[in-house]
Amino acid sequence: MIIDTHCHLDDESFEADLTAVLERAKDANIEKIIIPGASIKDLPKAIRISEEQKNIFFAVGVHPYHVDEMDESVLRKFAKHEKCVAVGECGLDYYRLPESGIEEYKARQKEVFIAQIKLACELKKPLIVHIRDANEDSLSILKEYEDKLVGGVLHCYNASPILLELSRTFYYGIGGVLTFKNEKKLGAILPQIPKERLLIETDAPYLTPVPYRGERNEPARTIFVRDKMSEILNLSGDEIERITTQNALKLFAI
C-alpha cells in the first residue's frame, strides 16, 4: 500500500477524468491521497472530492505564490472539517521574484508562512512546507517554531543538507524528481534521511517521474518513486511501501 501524501487532485487538469485517475490509483495499490491547500479558491473543490472519496483527505493552506489570497478566517473554517489533516502547503519560494520590491515581497511571504505555522501549532495539525530557493530563511523560521509543532513534511524535499537539521520534527516528501536522469543530489542525500522520516508523494499533476516525464502526473505513478527509492536504499519495494505508509499514517493520523 502506498499513500500519496501530496497530490493536487483539485487541479483543473483532473476535471475531465478524475474517476479514471482514481481507478488507476486503486489498481496501483494507492490506498490514500492527501490534497494540499495551495489556493483558497480551490478549497471547496478539494473538500468536495474528499467528501465523495473516503480515502482522500485535504489540507488548508496558501502557497507562497498566492499570498494575496491569505484569509486566516477561511483556513480556520475549513480546518474544522473532519477530513482536514494538515495546514499547508505554505512556505517560501524565491524562484520567481518581482523586478522591484523584492524585500517587501519576501517579507509578505514570511508573514503568511508564519501565520500558517502558528495556526498549525494552535490546531495541533502537521504542517506541509514548500521551499524553493529559500533554504536559509525557511530553516530559520522553522527552527523557531519546531518545538511547538506536532510535526510536518518538507514537501518535494530539495536535497538541501541544511534542511536535514529538521529531521527531529519533519518528514521528507520524495517524488518524481528522484527519477530524473539529471538529478543527482536527491539520490545522493536520500540515504542520509532517517527511514522513519520518508514519505512518498507525486505533486501531481506536476513532476511526473521517468518514464512518463513530460506527461501529466497522477497518483498511480508513485510506484516509480517507490522503485527508485528501493534501488537507492537497497530495500525491497514492499519494505519501502511499509515504511512510507507507516510514516504517513503516523504524521497525518489517518
pLDDT in tens, 191-202: 999 999 999 999
pLDDT of residue 175: 98
| Residue 153 identity | V
**5, 34 Cβ separation under 8 angstroms:** yes
Helix axes 72-79, 43-52, angle to 10 degrees: 0
pLDDT at 205 over 90: yes
pLDDT of residue 245: 98
pLDDT at 141 over 90: yes
Q: How many CB atoms lie within 10 A of CB 87?
A: 30
Please write the tens of the pLDDT for every residue from 144-167: 999 999 999 999 999 999 999 999
What does the mean pLDDT of the chain come to? 97
Helix axes 102-123, 135-145, angle to 10 degrees: 30
pLDDT band at 140 (very low <50, low <70, confident <90, very high): very high
Name the grid cell of 199: 514519505
Residue whose C-alpha cell reads 494507492 in the numeric block: 30
Please tell me the distance from the alpha carbon of residue 69 to that of residue 43, in angstroms, as a whole number: 12
Q: Over pLDDT 90: what percentage of the chain?
A: 98
φ, ψ of residue 7 in degrees (nearest 5): -145, 120
Per the omega criterion (within 30 degrees of 0), is the bond before 211 cis? yes
Please tell me the distance from the alpha carbon of residue 68 to that of residue 49, in angstroms, as a whole number: 25
pLDDT at 99 over 90: no
7's CB contacts (< 8 A; 6+ apart) are 33, 34, 35, 36, 201, 202, 203, 204, 218, 219
Please tell me the distance from the alpha carbon of residue 153 to that of residue 148, in angstroms, as a whole number: 15
| Residue 8 identity | H
Interval 129-141 mean pLDDT: 98
Which of 38-59 are b and which e, b meaning 16 or more Cβ less than 10 Å from the residue's Cβ?
bbbebbebbbebbeebeebbbb
Please write the tens of the pLDDT for every residue from 11-43: 999 999 999 999 999 999 999 999 999 999 999
Please tell me the distance from the alpha carbon of residue 184 to that of residue 201, in angstroms, as a whole number: 19
32 - beta bridge partners? 3
127's CB contacts (< 8 A; 6+ apart) are 86, 87, 88, 90, 116, 117, 120, 149, 151, 152, 153
Residue ranges of alpha helices (H) inside 171-221 are: 185-189
